[in-house]
Structure 1
Amino acid sequence: QRFDEAVAAWEMMLKLLPAGDARRAVIERSIRLAQEK
């Protein structure tokens, strides 16, 4: 399923972003939405 690949990619990005980065919230929300599908 494509969602699994997307979540894996987003989790990799989260590891690379600094803790206070504004993009983290967007990525975390995307992961949550993908996991609900």
Structure 2
Amino acid sequence: MDAISYEALRKCFFFNFIRRFCHTSSPCKVQGSYP
């Protein structure tokens, strides 16, 4: 697997996890500003 693809996948998973955990917290909204 390409390292760049793996990084993107890991980051996507990480941000999804953060957003699920924090919902609408201000710092999480700023960090997890992904669609």
Q: Following TM superposition, where does structure 1 have runs of at least 4 consecutive aligned residues deviating by more than 6 angstroms? A: none
Query: Going by fraction, where is helix more abundant, 1 or 2?
Result: 1
Which of structures 1 and 2 has the larger relative contact order (alpha carbons within 8 angstroms, sep 6+)? 1
RMSD value, Cα: 1.8
Aligned length: 29
TM-score by length of 2: 0.54
The structure that has the greater radius of gyration is: 2
- Matched-pair identity in %: 0
Unaligned runs of 5+ in 1: 33-37
TM-score by length of 1: 0.53
Unaligned runs of 5+ in 2: none
